[in-house]
Structure 1
Amino acid sequence: MRSIDALAARRALLRPFVLFFLVMLSWFVAPNALADCDTRYIAAGAYPASPQCPLKAAAADFGGMGGYVCGDPNVIAAYCSGPAGTDSTEPVSVEGGMLDNGDNCSADSTAGCGNSTSGAEPVNLYTGQFYFFAHDLAVADTIALDLARVYRSGAYDSTGKPLVGAFGVGGGLTFDTILAMSKDRQRLELRQATGIRVPFTPRAGSNGNGWDDLTSPGEYYRARIDAAGSTGMTLSLRDGRVRRFTSIGGVYRLSRIEDRNGNALVISRDSKTGAITSVTGTNGRTLTFTSIVGARGTSLISRVTDQLSRQVNYQYDNQDRLTQVTDAGGGIWKYGWDSKSRLVTVTDPEGNLQVTSTYDDSDRVVAQKLADGSTFAIAYTVTGGKVTQTEVTDRRGSIRRLEFDTNGRVVRNTYPAGQPAQQVQTFAYDATGRVTNLTSTDRQYTYTYDANGNRTSESDQYGTLHTRTYDSYSQVLTDAEAGDPQRGVTTVYTYDAKGNLLTVTDRLGNRTTQTNDSQGRPLTVTDALRGVTRYTYTRADLTGVTDPLNRTTQCTADAAGRVTAVQDPLGNKTARTLDALARTTDVTDALGGVTHFTWDRNGRLLSQADPKGVTTRYTYNTIGRPVSKTDALGRSETYTWTLAGQVQSVTDRKGQVTGYSYDEAGRLKETAFQLAAGVASTRRWNYTWDNTLDRLGGLDDYARAEPGGTERRTTSTLFYYDSVTGKFVRTLEWPRQEGDWSYRYNAVTRELDGIDMFGVTVTYSRDAEHRVTQIQSVENDEAPRQFGYGYDALGRLAQATLANGITASYTWDAASQLTGITYKRSDGSVLGDLTYGYDLAGRRTKMGGSLAKVDLPQPVSDAQYNGANQLTRWLGRTFTYDLNGNLTGDGLNQYSWNLQGLLGGITGPTTAAFSYDAPGRRRNMTVDGQQTRMVWVGDELNLLLPDDDWSKRTRLFSPYPEGGLDELTYRRIGDDASQDRYVLRDGNNNVIALTDANQHIVTQYRYEPYGKTTLAGAADANTQQYTGRENDGTGLYYYRNRYYNPATARFISEDPIGWESGQTNAYAYVGGNPVQFSDPSGLQAMGFPVPAGPMPGGGFGPRPPGSGSQGLDDWLSNPSGGTFADSNADDPVVYPDNPKGSPEKFGNITGSRGKQCLDGSVWEKDTSSHGGDQWKRWPNRKSWEKKQTPQSVWPDGRIRK
């Protein structure tokens, strides 16, 4: 069931330029070889690669099956349907049968997930049938024209011959739905090409002219069929959609599909055979069908043509078996059959034998082999003629075991069965097959439904997570998240008589209204502040969007509805060309620059070239995974893969190797870094997993000081999770404890309530929309510091109050562009202001106000670049790079890089050294002999420790608990409150001033557009400056994944995510628009202010591409993740009974056994048991006084003194 996010829905309606930006961005952002596409539900032909993500196949098990399947939820639901009513057909699928609030998945994707009966390449694990869907053509209209064919094995007629459909033996067209009546008219059956059969029974009092379905879950529940004259039938679904059937040759065949607004697909058929001759949309777009008569007299589709004259051609043998499909791009798919007319082989247009299937005597698939030699083995347990259990041995050798009830529904899913990592899910169903209970290792979910079968609530063992109500069309009327009922709030939706959305009212009463045209498409959207966005259409296509400032963006589409050009309100036009398979081949920008893409016959990206001809090329293995990426200078990085479909190694352009290994569940077990293939690793990370929670439990970091030296463990980290929410709570670290902090969650709302960290207690308050409205910070038992946040009716930040009383007021125009920031003292006097203006295209063109202090850079005429967009000469200095594209010299300094691809050191007039933890966060920095250690809370920098001196610590405070932009708000040095500073920021998150407790500006900063920084006023140790990032004093800024040089306006290494950043130049900063955008993660541009949320691209540092290791990637990209310590292996662990010369000073707490550390923590020695003396540690004195559970207990045996 679809979940509606009211805020997201409202923003999507109110920000049309976002839509067009994303459309244009999708043209440019051809994925790099490590594209991270969603793989969770991929089941080969059932849900393979989308044309918009051509490398999705690289991270999943895409077997091809005709090529262009885009994950239609209805098709997936049909594929993942439940038990067969007979040996050859299946009933309607369980709602959510693909996956129901659980993801106990085989990590190689295609062994399946949850209560889905889908697995392998792909096979229905209850019936044993080989299934696949292929979408051969798509034409946009109000109701899309989708040429979708389906194959299913093991389907026979009453004489025992294989069933023949529109695409031959076992092959059907999704438009080929029929109604079949029993002779006594007591049973009417809806039969789909997928094999699904939905039974309808006579309606009381209908005189044999009406039938109802009251037993099937999903879209057909409470559907009704009524006779329409002597030759027609009408099927009405509960959501208002209608399907009409016409009798041809005594068979009721689908002839029309309508939505609630009367939009229709008209299916024309031959009056004698019933063969489809055309399908026509509401606005006249058409698919035209040509058929031949097969050997058994059945009409077989031989060609389909659209209005672009694209053609798909089909060939059959003399037994009516589909043998070849020539797609619209000329690629040829070949299909091989055995003597029993079962599909055995599929060969893709590149000649790869994608899958070979083996069947048993009962026509069940028992084995499959893929093009790379990997295999699936499937074993069925049959009792009383029915399958009661199926075991799939996946490509890594692990087993997914499914157990079925008498109706063929999955009641137990175990993976990897019999292994230490084994996870078990159990499912219970109601009489119509809807899931009512799901139980996993640590969760018990309960679901309820209304009379129409709509899910009305989702709960776990700790309370209700979601409640909804619906109208007669099964559309959401009210939506409440966890905690909303206690607050008495909900999101409310209203609709017109046809079910078109009219209003959305959020939990605070802010209402967005919408008007619609006769086809049910939005014409106007009026926001809660009465700003109006207007939409215009030309027949089927959206051709214009006019925003509340009356700025119009225009769009052009071709005859198939594919967007080919976008023109902004200034008349700047970007156009693209597409090939017959809807792949972008060229993008021409407004300046005439052309970006080129080439593709192989399987739809995989082969090359991408920017307007200057800088070209990146890719190659793939037989199952579509990338094996090499070659840059514009001809240097390649290569990839190897396990047979389970997970990346095994990455060899970079310098020959350095990063290796990955996995456990039996496909979770990452080890990452190892080698200077070259065949040599011992110089650093490796070992991961341990909590098998009860299926979460990351610990990480050990091992390193060698030099190649061939002794390997030593440098850090160990344990991870803990909240029992109610299941979210990450805290870490325990060895040998350091500065990273010891914990999150607090609200058991009702499941939201973050606060953080206890290093002597500071932080508490969050939220409004009805779950947004942070107040943050209270208590440090060292001082008076609380209060930070406040207010929002307008559109959810935009309207006011922020600092703890020293200064208030920032934000103003916005009707198009949600920031127009001003005014800082006022608590007495109402204005401290300073900023104003902003924009052109018709939404680009920031003006900045004013008393705080707007911008310096302009000097002109540069001496700059040269090579064929890889690398700066090679600047102001007479020569720049050099290593083979990975990292800067190694700039004529002044030399730069070295570690095996993680992160800057390791600088030598020259400035000397510096840097080290990082496993997620890639910087933990130590030494610049010109001054060492600083960094402590993080999730992805946010929290403490700076100069020379490991706790008394000199700098605490940084950012407002957003769930991660965001590191918007520095407050800073303290040591315990000296007189040095507290409160931060003023501009509209690009630049720190422009530091104020003291008396609301006076003490220090100011001014910047050139690209960040060259000048300080005015009192000198300060603050390093957070340009866009809120750290000025290292080396000439570089630290932008998390990369380092940035404001002097050259470029990053000094390539963008890790390549063209996914939205720009083709891997070194460029925010697409040349630094006055409006920043790049806080070093990955891609983003505007400011932003709502609280994860950073683009997730966490820091390298990722194991396509690893499929659930839990680890979530943690790495989760700002609420733990803290890894990074330390010298020779450092001793410091405890209260260690030598007194340590930087951690301990004092006795009178009248107790406790000792308090300078960091605020309290320690007690426990000598009672546990096999030896141990120390217990509380994060602060308050938690110790309240006798809360201590955060760490460490045996003395682990302490090196």
Structure 2
Amino acid sequence: MEVRVLPGSPLFLSNFLNHNDQLNRLTGKTYPDSTTVNYTYDNDSRLTQVNDPTGTYQFTFDNMGRLTGTTTSYTFLARNFTASYAYDKASNRTGFTDPENGATSYVYDTLNRLQTLTPPSAFTGSGNFGFSYDALSRRTQMTRPNNLVTNYGYDNLSHLLSVLHQSGSTTLDGASYGVDNAGNRTSRTPQPSGTASNYTYDPIYELTQVTQGGSTTESYTYDPVGNRLSTLGVSPYNVNTSNELTSTPTTTYTYDSNGNTLTKAVGSNATNYTWDFENRLASVTLPGSGGTVSFKYDPFGRRIYKSSSSGTSVYAYDGDNLIEETNASGTVVARYSQTEYVDEPLAMLRSGTTSYFHTDGLGSTTSLSNASGALAQTYTYDSFGKRVTSSGSLTNPFQYTSRELDDETSLYYFRARYFDPSTGRFISEDPLGWDVGPNYYSYVDNSPLFLIDPSGLAPCKIDAKCRANRTTPLRVIRIGTLGIVNIKHCYIGVTDANGDTSIISAGPDRNDFHKMTSGVKPVKDSDEKNNFNKDKDLKLKCSNGDDPCHQVDCLVAAGKEYQNRFPVYDFRGQKAPNSNSFTNQVTQACGLTYSFPRFATGSGFQP
């Protein structure tokens, strides 16, 4: 887990003033109302404390820089939340103690893949979750304490073809998928029974139509920058030059100068929105007698408070994952067990009852089961997350792509922003600004069947890149009658959920051409990013059994795992590995297939 300070977007710097020390570390913020945020670091520049109007947040680390403990004290709650962490020699997390002193333990296989997760005894007694993998590190099975098993099936290109939640040989829930040559999902068939949905795309893979049998159930058209222009039975969607949705046949919208939605009016019924200085949703006033829903956030952008006519919820976190919910008095209402991945809830403990999550290939919750292994709750959604059906009486926030649905507002909380499934877009601009392209409101480039956006920022992205090396004697090679050719250097670029880009690559050491240096390097400045964008994109076959953010995490971990594993470098990749050998090893470790171009020598080298 990494504790990060995310400064405000350049688009919104006028809303507050940043303060930095001589080491260029963010030490404080001052808002227009004179409230402040203060940051404290240790001698190794690790963030150890943050104070702001919502509370005090403290962090401790071991001598390897790993997070060992957190203490959170909210100003509006008369209790603290503490958590602690333990690790093995490979820095895998082996233990986590939550604010209720519940212990979670983790066991890994020899490839550092999570094998067993045992949640606090309050959830399951002595039960645990088990994870199995194939030779390509694709997850093939997950077992639960209630004996329900999830099995995953793939084709030979690692496309996910099925997710089946089973009791013995009986399938209780799940889905099977069809996939085209580009990796787009062409169909989804609910299991154990149901009508298949078939999907159609435009040339840039935006979803345009969903059919069931001979009937069209969804249809979409878009303008050149991805604004929705029409849906089935609804036309037109009107947008202005800032790509703000201004009206549909039934609804009108207004915005503030930062692009945040201010009002949504359906006839005479108006919903009003207010925003804080960081352009985070502060309140929603509902029409009629719906009342006002208000929110608070911590200095890291995590939502820590929600209050409405239904009551008050206070939230505690493990990194970005919600692990606990209390009422206004600090009494626990719900606890959640999750993996270390973002948005992979495993179990919920609410009112003394444990429920187990079951998700589809997109990571959306489709059902929850009880301790006896029977389904207690089911959900279905349209392609953009609008809930179509719900059976059962469980209270559960994690629904479409396992994000939190606020029933009061019908909006999904996607961390940095809120998503409206009825319009298929966010209600405020992407804080990353121009880095995401000209349209700051679109959701996953209108490809919601195989892309997700857990942070509300730019979708996680994996780029396979290759470029010709410089034409020096050390970068060219004579190949038979082809003469002298330029060797191709291939590498991986990844963009994580926070919009940060890193390069995973290898090459010769600057001081010793026969020594390899490798690893993961952040792309920090505009020149590096421009060079990265210029390099040729290649086809990379990803495993759709894992969402892109999980794949990014896997590649970064593999890049660090393989770092300096191969000490000898051979630019031809014949007697020893080269950069292409390294790239091939890293991608294979995550179940990905890299389509290397001609003259990418060494890509087939097996150390």
TM-score clears 0.5 = yes
TM-score bin, normalised by smaller chain: 0.5 to 0.7
Distance 1:782 1:819 in 2: 31
Distance 2:370 2:233 in 1: 37
In the alignment, does 2:150 pair up with 1:808?
Answer: yes
Q: State the partner residue of 1:479.
A: none
Per the alignment, in what secondary structure is the counterpart of residue 323 of structure 2? strand
- Aligned CA distance change for structure 1 residues 1035 and 833 (closer, same or farther; 3 Å): closer
Q: State the partner residue of 1:788.
A: 130
- Aligned CA distance change for structure 1 residues 1039 and 648 (closer, same or farther; 3 Å): closer
The CA deviation at 1:665 is 2.4
Q: State the partner residue of 1:579.
A: none
- Paired AA for residue 84 in structure 2: S
The CA deviation at 1:890 is 1.2
- Paired AA for residue 983 in structure 1: F
- Paired AA for residue 729 in structure 1: T
- Paired AA for residue 348 in structure 2: R
Q: State the partner residue of 1:666.
A: 24
Q: State the partner residue of 1:1020.
A: 394
In the alignment, does 2:56 pair up with 1:699?
Answer: no
Q: State the partner residue of 1:850.
A: 191
Q: Is the 8 A contact 2:124 2:354 kept in 1?
A: no
Aligned 1:416-565 pairs, distance under 5 A: none
What is the aligned counterpart of 1:967 among 304, 329, 344?
Answer: 344
Deviations 1:925-964 (A, max 9, x none): 113352111111111111122334525x1112212x2xx3
Calculate percent identity across the aligned residue pairs: 29
In the alignment, does 2:85 pair up with 1:743?
Answer: yes
What is the aligned counterpart of 1:766 among 105, 108, 120?
Answer: 108
The CA deviation at 1:920 is 0.5
Deviations 1:602-653 (A, max 9, x none): xxxxxxxxxxxxxxxxxxxxxxxxxxxxxxxxxxxxxxxxxxxxx9998857
In the alignment, does 2:253 pair up with 1:902?
Answer: no
- Aligned CA distance change for structure 1 residues 805 and 1059 (closer, same or farther; 3 Å): farther
Deviations 1:701-753 (A, max 9, x none): 1x4xxxxxxxxxx5222221123x3211112233564420011112x223211
- Aligned CA distance change for structure 1 residues 1073 and 947 (closer, same or farther; 3 Å): same
Q: State the partner residue of 2:41.
A: 689
The CA deviation at 1:819 is 0.6
Q: State the partner residue of 1:955.
A: 335
- Aligned CA distance change for structure 1 residues 822 and 898 (closer, same or farther; 3 Å): same
The CA deviation at 1:1098 is 6.8
Distance 2:378 2:9 in 1: 46
Q: Is the 8 A contact 1:1023 1:1031 kept in 2?
A: yes
The CA deviation at 1:780 is 4.2
Distance 1:1027 1:793 in 2: 27
- Paired AA for residue 728 in structure 1: L
Q: Is the 8 A contact 1:955 1:971 kept in 2?
A: yes
In the alignment, does 2:322 pair up with 1:945?
Answer: no
Aligned 1:164-563 pairs, distance under 5 A: none
Q: Is the 8 A contact 1:688 1:697 kept in 2?
A: yes
The CA deviation at 1:694 is 3.1
Q: 5+ residue gaps in structure 2?
A: 1-5, 198-209, 211-216, 219-231, 463-493, 501-523, 526-552, 554-607
TM-score when scaled to structure 1?
0.34
Q: For the pair shown, which has the larger CA radius of gyration, 1 or 2?
A: 1
Distance 1:768 1:649 in 2: 41
Q: State the partner residue of 2:414.
A: 1039
Deviations 1:992-1027 (A, max 9, x none): 011111111111101011111134332211011111
Distance 2:446 2:123 in 1: 47
- Aligned CA distance change for structure 1 residues 661 and 832 (closer, same or farther; 3 Å): closer
Per the alignment, in what secondary structure is the counterpart of residue 969 of structure 1? strand
Per the alignment, in what secondary structure is the counterpart of residue 335 of structure 2? strand
Q: State the partner residue of 2:60.
A: 720
Q: Which has the higher contact order (CA 8 A, sep 6+)?
A: 2
Distance 1:1085 1:661 in 2: 30
In the alignment, does 2:84 pair up with 1:732?
Answer: no
- Aligned CA distance change for structure 1 residues 839 and 652 (closer, same or farther; 3 Å): closer
Q: Is the 8 A contact 2:123 2:349 kept in 1?
A: no
- Aligned CA distance change for structure 1 residues 948 and 1006 (closer, same or farther; 3 Å): farther
Distance 2:83 2:238 in 1: 49
In the alignment, does 2:235 pair up with 1:893?
Answer: no
Deviations 1:135-177 (A, max 9, x none): xxxxxxxxxxxxxxxxxxxxxxxxxxxxxxxxxxxxxxxxxxx
Deviations 1:522-570 (A, max 9, x none): xxxxxxxxxxxxxxxxxxxxxxxxxxxxxxxxxxxxxxxxxxxxxxxxx
- Aligned CA distance change for structure 1 residues 838 and 652 (closer, same or farther; 3 Å): closer
- Aligned CA distance change for structure 1 residues 1095 and 785 (closer, same or farther; 3 Å): farther
Q: Is the 8 A contact 1:1079 1:1086 kept in 2?
A: yes
Aligned 1:120-131 pairs, distance under 5 A: none
- Paired AA for residue 374 in structure 2: H
Q: Is the 8 A contact 1:648 1:659 kept in 2?
A: no
Distance 1:648 1:947 in 2: 29
Q: State the partner residue of 1:385.
A: none
Q: Is the 8 A contact 2:175 2:360 kept in 1?
A: yes
- Aligned CA distance change for structure 1 residues 1073 and 1058 (closer, same or farther; 3 Å): same
Per the alignment, in what secondary structure is the counterpart of residue 687 of structure 1? strand
Q: State the partner residue of 1:982.
A: 356
- Aligned CA distance change for structure 1 residues 776 and 872 (closer, same or farther; 3 Å): same
Per the alignment, in what secondary structure is the counterpart of residue 445 of structure 2? helix
The CA deviation at 1:782 is 6.4
Distance 1:820 1:1048 in 2: 29
- Aligned CA distance change for structure 1 residues 738 and 1028 (closer, same or farther; 3 Å): farther
- Aligned CA distance change for structure 1 residues 819 and 991 (closer, same or farther; 3 Å): same
Q: Is the 8 A contact 1:1081 1:1095 kept in 2?
A: no
Q: Is the 8 A contact 2:15 2:278 kept in 1?
A: no
Per the alignment, in what secondary structure is the counterpart of residue 730 of structure 1? strand
Q: State the partner residue of 1:1029.
A: 403
Aligned 1:1142-1157 pairs, distance under 5 A: none
TM-score when scaled to structure 2?
0.65
Distance 1:950 1:1042 in 2: 28
Q: Is the 8 A contact 1:699 1:716 kept in 2?
A: yes
- Paired AA for residue 895 in structure 1: Y
- Paired AA for residue 925 in structure 1: K
- Paired AA for residue 958 in structure 1: Q
- Paired AA for residue 849 in structure 1: P
Per the alignment, in what secondary structure is the counterpart of residue 739 of structure 1? strand
- Paired AA for residue 784 in structure 1: S
Q: State the partner residue of 2:498.
A: 1097
In the alignment, does 2:204 pair up with 1:823?
Answer: no
Q: Is the 8 A contact 2:359 2:367 kept in 1?
A: yes
Q: Is the 8 A contact 2:164 2:191 kept in 1?
A: no
Distance 2:181 2:429 in 1: 32
- Aligned CA distance change for structure 1 residues 782 and 1020 (closer, same or farther; 3 Å): closer
What is the aligned counterpart of 1:1051 among 423, 426, 433?
Answer: 426
> Which 4+ runs in 1 deviate beyond 4 A?
647-653, 735-738, 851-855
The CA deviation at 1:988 is 0.6
Q: Is the 8 A contact 1:988 1:1078 kept in 2?
A: yes
Distance 2:330 2:248 in 1: 40
Per the alignment, in what secondary structure is the counterpart of residue 740 of structure 1? strand
Distance 1:782 1:650 in 2: 43
The CA deviation at 1:668 is 1.6
- Paired AA for residue 835 in structure 1: S
